Amino acid sequence: MKKIIFGVFSMFLFSLIIAAAQTSKRKIGDLAPANALDGAWQRVYHYNGKTSSADEPKEFVVVHDGFFSSIGQDGEGRWTNTHGGTFEINGNLMKNHLLYSSHPDILGFTNWVEYELKKDTLIMKWNIKKMLTPQGQEVIVQMPTSESKFIRAKK
């Protein structure tokens, strides 16, 4: 269960970053909510009761046209956490569907994450209480509430 929770949490972080990306030539106000997230994102902060340190594993997410792909380092600095899938936006909620993952036990899962986009900063609030399995069954999840901040990746 811990592996599923960690995998789902990683997937959500990646999907939120991806969803917040946008191209540098567009103005956020000119885009639909999902398109405003298009682009590349880098996680710079995570709060789960304490502030992240500089040696926290890194994470990058690319979002485009309702799809996301993310890659992140594990606790030993290896780039082994990968996820990909689709997302939909409804107000300030992002619905994520995991199609690909380096954690096969969470493939096909769907979850919802609250997000806030402020210019080139994406804040994701991980208050996940339930997920859907690939078979459509609700799963109650005991994840601690946390928050992540992503910024648009720079060249």
Q: Domain total for the chain? A: 1
Residue-wise pLDDT for 84-134, tens only, equals: 999 999 999 999 999 999 999 889 999 999 999 999 999 988 878 788 999
pLDDT value, residue 22: 35
CATH number, domain with residue 18: 2.40.128.280
**What residues does 29 pair with on adjacent strands?**
none
- Residue 44's domain comprises 2-152
Q: Compute CA distances 88 → 15, 59, 72, 73, whole Å.
A: 10, 21, 22, 26
Q: pTM to 2 decimals?
A: 0.72
- Mean pLDDT (the chain) is 78
